[in-house]
């Protein structure tokens, strides 16, 4: 199978159209902002446009002229604050209308799929997340890649 890379400004609006039609879309995310739960070049996610967005959902959203796949951290009415699980401080702001879809499944190598949690424990660990991520990036990945 040939691998093709399509720029996000072309690909994501097309994905948004499919999601708006009620279709599920599988996407291989780029970047490390959702580590350790979604790994670039290894995992894929399945997205679906859900009627409601909840705190803890992992969403594909338009924010500040770009698209991110991050977790809903805070919801105040229709205003959302998003934060990647692999981030220790940075957040993005958007509205519920900016959400294209919600991750309903994470597909691991070998085809095993898992349903994403709401990330409550990970959110509670935010004060020590920097150390947990450093451990994951420096040590855990070396152990797993032997």
Contact (CB, 8 A) for 8 and 16 = no
Is 1 inside a domain boundary?
no
Is 2 inside a domain boundary?
no
Is 116 inside a domain boundary?
yes
Residues spanned by the domain of 138: 8-144
Domain containing residue 116: CATH number = 2.10.109.10
- Give the count of domains, the chain: 1
Asked which of 79-83, 115-119, 135-139 is least confident by mean pLDDT, the reply is: 135-139
User: How wide is the angle at C-alpha 72 spanned by C-alphas 43 and 102, nearest 5°?
Assistant: 50
Is 103 inside a domain boundary?
yes
pTM of the predicted protein model: 0.89
When the pLDDT of each residue in the chain is averaged and rounded to a whole number, the result is: 90
Is 3 inside a domain boundary?
no
Pairing of strands 25-27, 44-48: antiparallel
End-to-end alpha carbon distance in the chain? 27
pLDDT digits (tens, 9 = 90+) for 23-64: 999 999 988 899 889 998 899 999 999 999 999 999 999 998
Is the four-CA dihedral 22, 73, 29, 98 of positive or negative sign? Answer: positive
pLDDT for 38: 94
Give the single-character DSSP code of 78: T
pLDDT for 50: 96
Is 102 inside a domain boundary?
yes
């Amino acid at each position: 199978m040939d691998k093709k890379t399509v720029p996000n400004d072309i690909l994501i609006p097309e994905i948004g159209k499919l999601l708006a039609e009620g279709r599920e879309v599988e996407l291989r995310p780029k970047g490390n902002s959702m580590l350790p739960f979604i790994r670039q070049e290894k995992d894929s996610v399945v997205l679906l446009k859900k009627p409601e967005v909840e705190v803890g959902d992992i969403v594909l959203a338009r924010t500040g002229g770009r698209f991110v796949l991050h977790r809903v951290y805070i919801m105040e009415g229709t205003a959302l604050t998003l934060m990647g699980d692999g981030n220790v401080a940075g957040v993005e702001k958007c509205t519920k209308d900016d959400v294209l879809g919600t991750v309903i499944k994470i597909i691991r190598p070998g085809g095993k799929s898992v349903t994403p949690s709401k990330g409550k424990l990970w959110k509670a660990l935010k004060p020590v997340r920097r150390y947990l991520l450093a451990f994951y990036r420096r040590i855990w990945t070396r152990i797993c890649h032997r």
